[in-house]
């Protein structure tokens, strides 16, 4: 955790190339603008190399995937690797269909990811471990507090085998590079009632990684802390009659108003040896 990364994003305004799904693209662009980054959403193979070259980091998000988008992802990912810019993978729905899982595996085989963020079902599917997929949401058997140790072990194995920092979202967020592991206890259950809060975290991770000076683990922890705390702060503002529609806007508000000081005071996390 390094809360000053927030100031660094606002100072540097890193361009984040996002190849993402059309369900949450608007939220992802708005969360990037809210945190101070500059999004460019583009999914066409014909410009993937140009746009990736312009950007400080690249997000590959597998929601509403198509063959054309996968081509663009391969090109942009390889270009960013060549430029040593961080590439972040969000394997939305991995495990929910054979073709989605295969697409994720093709990307893993061809692109070096700085960070991979998903829920437990998605990470399990990419690990080749069995999971009863609940669509794009995590399978319930994997979600209880009892299963936390097994989720930590999964994330650590996955980080070690891929060489990426793993961000495994859930009630407790797990961030690990295989050696260091951070557990984050912020967040609010309403985050799961708004589409795209996971995609938005992935976008934040990319923005923070873009100004990380090489410590991707620290950047990912800070992004997860900022997102979880924003979810908490948004929930505190809700009044009678408010629900997930208002909450969605309040989450972006909270990221917009986040400061290093607010983050330092509000975040609750532990580093496991």
Binding site for a second copy (CB under 8 A): 15, 21-27, 29-30, 33-34, 38-44, 46-47, 50-51, 54-55, 63-68, 93, 96-100, 133-137, 192-196, 233, 237, 241-246, 248-257
- Nearer residue to a second copy within complex by CB, 242 or 270: 242
Question: Largest Cα–Cα distance in the chain?
Answer: 52
User: Is the separation of the CB atoms in 80 and 87 below 8 Å?
Assistant: yes
- Nearer residue to a second copy within complex by CB, 38 or 264: 38
Chain center to CA of 111:
17
- Minimum gap (Å) between residue 178 Cβ and a second copy: 31
- Minimum gap (Å) between residue 90 Cβ and a second copy: 14
Q: How many residues does the structure list for the chain?
A: 273
- Minimum gap (Å) between residue 218 Cβ and a second copy: 25
- Minimum gap (Å) between residue 129 Cβ and a second copy: 18
Tokens of 9: 């994003």
- Minimum gap (Å) between residue 72 Cβ and a second copy: 10
- Nearer residue to a second copy within complex by CB, 68 or 272: 68
- Nearer residue to a second copy within complex by CB, 93 or 178: 93
- Minimum gap (Å) between residue 227 Cβ and a second copy: 14
- Nearer residue to a second copy within complex by CB, 143 or 183: 143
- Minimum gap (Å) between residue 176 Cβ and a second copy: 27
- Give the Cα separation of 99 and 62 in Å (integer): 11
Contacts 24+ apart (CB under 8 A), 149-154: 151/120, 152/176, 152/181, 152/183, 152/272, 154/120, 154/123, 154/124, 154/127, 154/129
- Nearer residue to a second copy within complex by CB, 193 or 272: 193
- Nearer residue to a second copy within complex by CB, 136 or 155: 136
- Give the Cα separation of 104 and 111 in Å (integer): 10
């Amino acid at each position: 955790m390094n809360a000053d990364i927030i100031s660094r994003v606002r100072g540097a305004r890193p361009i984040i190339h996002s190849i993402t799904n059309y369900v949450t693209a608007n939220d992802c662009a708005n969360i990037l603008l809210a945190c101070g980054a500059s999004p460019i959403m583009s999914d066409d193979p014909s410009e993937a190399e140009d746009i990736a070259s312009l950007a400080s980091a690249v997000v590959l998000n597998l929601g509403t995937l198509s063959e054309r988008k996968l081509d663009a992802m391969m090109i942009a990912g390889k270009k960013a690797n060549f430029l040593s810019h961080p590439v972040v993978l969000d394997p939305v729905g991995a495990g929910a269909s054979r073709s989605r899982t295969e697409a994720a595996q093709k990307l893993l085989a061809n692109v070096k990811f700085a960070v991979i963020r998903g829920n437990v079902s998605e990470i399990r599917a990419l690990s080749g471990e069995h999971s009863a997929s609940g669509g794009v949401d995590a399978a319930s058997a994997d979600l209880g507090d009892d299963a936390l140790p097994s989720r930590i072990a999964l994330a650590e194995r996955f980080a070690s085998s891929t060489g990426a920092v793993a961000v495994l979202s859930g009630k407790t967020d797990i961030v690990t590079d295989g050696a260091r592991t951070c557990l984050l206890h912020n967040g609010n259950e309403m985050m799961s009632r708004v589409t795209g809060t996971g995609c938005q975290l992935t976008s934040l991770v990319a923005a923070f990684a873009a100004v990380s000076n090489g410590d991707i683990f620290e950047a990912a922890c800070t992004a997860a802390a900022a997102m979880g705390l924003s979810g908490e702060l948004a929930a505190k503002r809700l009044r009678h009659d408010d629900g997930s529609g208002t909450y969605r806007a309040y989450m972006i508000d909270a990221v917009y108003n986040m400061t290093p000081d607010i983050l330092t005071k509000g975040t609750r996390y532990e580093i496991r040896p």
